[in-house]
Amino acid sequence: MQGLMMNYPLTLQHAFTRATTIFSRNTIVTQTEGEPHCYTYKEWGERVMQLANALRQAGVQQGDRVATFGWNTYRHFELYYAVPCMGAVLHTLNIRLFVDQLLYIINEAEDKFIFVDGDLVPLLEKLAPQLPSVQLYVIMGEAPYGTGALQPAVDYEAFLAGQPAVYEWPQLEEDTAAAMCYTSGTTGNPKGVVYSHRSIFLHSLGVCLADGMGLCEQDVALPVVPMFHANAWGIPHAAAFTGTSLVFPGRFLDPARLARLMESQHVTISAGVPTIWIGLLHLLEREQYDLSALRAIYCGGSAAPRSLIEGLARKGINLLHAWGMTETSPLASMARPRRLQAEQSLDELFRVKATQGTISACVDFRVVDMETGQQVPWDGRSYGELQVRGPWVARAYYKDTGSAARFADGWLRTGDVAVVDENGMLQLVDRTKDLVKSGGEWISSVELEGLIMGHPKVLEACVIGVPHPKWGERPLACVVPKPEYADQITTEELFEHLRPKVAKWALPDAIIFVEAIPKTSVGKFDKKVLRQRFETYPLD
């Protein structure tokens, strides 16, 4: 016997109609060099349909890839809906990738159009002669440093001009491709993840759940996480479902500009990687801003140190730890304290908030021993690789690049090492490639980093494994002091800080001070670069 419910396709067209009719007066703000740009969802919707008409007139057909190379702005948000709702595929390009990686991605995806922010034009001009599939470049804003090498090219506003603000969306199957992102390519070539309308639809509902980000109509959301990074963690899509007002930072990502934007626009939620919030906390320790409207900051991309969570809490800001990856759309877990922790100590609450918390509804998980392949006990101690599956989790990569190694028996092998406690709460210990294997024992680089960043004089810390003739590998800590303590911090006081908290054999063999820690294209610590730099570092 089958159910008698309607076969209603789960597509982004529903979210678009909902945003432009029910929530037509809610606003979308973008920070610019001068006054912020502001318009309503109704005005946004009209421009989205103009854009769809322009794309169709220019020859874009269903299934064509339309790429973006830009910041978080209202124009980028217009593309987020015009392209997939007409049946094409939005391909967001990471503006921080190396040239050879961008070439690989654009050519593998066979992008037909590229929409590029004006100040980023020089980056693309270097690649243009090697992009045979690209038929048109659309420049979003002036290109003050461009040389005219992007040809043929047209201004975004001229592209829309004269187009009707009405578009009859085609009927789409819910498994139609809507968007694609590539992984950051920290090992090997980047891998393409293709999201369907159905997966984005369901993921948006997961973002809106109270145990997700709890996005609602009364919120004002500031996605600091780039729109090329796993669809800005689903916030722009979820916002259309709920009518959440949006604030886009554009290219202005320094802590002071972000704080002023949060203050002036009464932002209620924001999201970004730990390095963004480390900078904000350092600013708030020196300057005053009224961020009282802020109900939560969502942090992901890499583990947030407990000291950051506690430091923001002292400023009245609730940081919530999320976990996910490009392959999981990305939201897959959230570290909200649960009922079973309600009466525990403040110390225990902060411990829980520093974990990855509870897996999201609709996502299944298991933690598997990396040598035996068997599931590990839920004892909070046994390590294993985290594997997940669900309706917004990838089942393969585009053109199957690297799929065999990352997908097993219907599960995505995340490459994250985790423990799970008796209540099913997750804590990531490290990436499989970042664990330090010393004399047969595993040492968590993430745990050491969090403890070092708990020292009041430390801004950032990154721990890597360095080859050792006796133990195989030993941990080396690279530390960036806070500027005001650059001449007042010693390695010995950091060791004194660690000794009561870490077993002697797990202490770093050396702590060195550096001016900056290299970052990946999505703002994570780039341990690959540090390992190359210090692979011959002499350890005692």
Annotated catalytic residue within 20, 73, 183, 328? 183
Annotated catalytic residue within 437, 441, 484, 501? 437
Q: Are 77 and 31 in contact (CB under 8 A)?
A: no
Q: What are phi and psi of 430, to 5 degrees?
A: 180, 175
- 136-140 and 113-117 beta bridge pairing: parallel
**How far, in Å, CA of 339 to CA of 189, rounded?**
43
Element (H, E) at 45: helix 41-58
Structure tokens belonging to residue 403: 């799929």
**Shortest CA distance to 446 belongs to which of 249, 303, 266, 291?**
303
b/e code 72-93 from CB counts within 10 Å (16+ = b): bbbbbbbbbbbbbbbbbbbbbb
Annotated catalytic residue within 442, 457, 471, 528? 442
Strands (E) across 183-235 are located at 192-196, 220-223
Annotated catalytic residue within 327, 449, 460, 473? 327
Q: Are 431 and 415 in contact (CB under 8 A)?
A: yes
In the block, which residue shows the tokens 């970052």? 519
- Neighbouring CB atoms inside 10 A of 405's CB total 9
**Is residue 42 flagged as an active site residue?**
no
Q: Exposed, middle or buried by CB within 10 Å (0-12, 13-18, 19+), for 503?
A: exposed
**Is residue 399 flagged as an active site residue?**
no
**Is residue 11 flagged as an active site residue?**
no
**How far, in Å, CA of 116 to CA of 99, rounded?**
15
**How far, in Å, CA of 12 to CA of 260, rounded?**
32
Residue 220, beta-bridge partner list: 245
**Span between the terminal Cα atoms of the chain, in Å:** 71
Three-state SS at 522 = coil
**Is residue 437 flagged as an active site residue?**
yes
Structure tokens belonging to residue 361: 């509804």
Active site residues: 183, 327, 437, 442
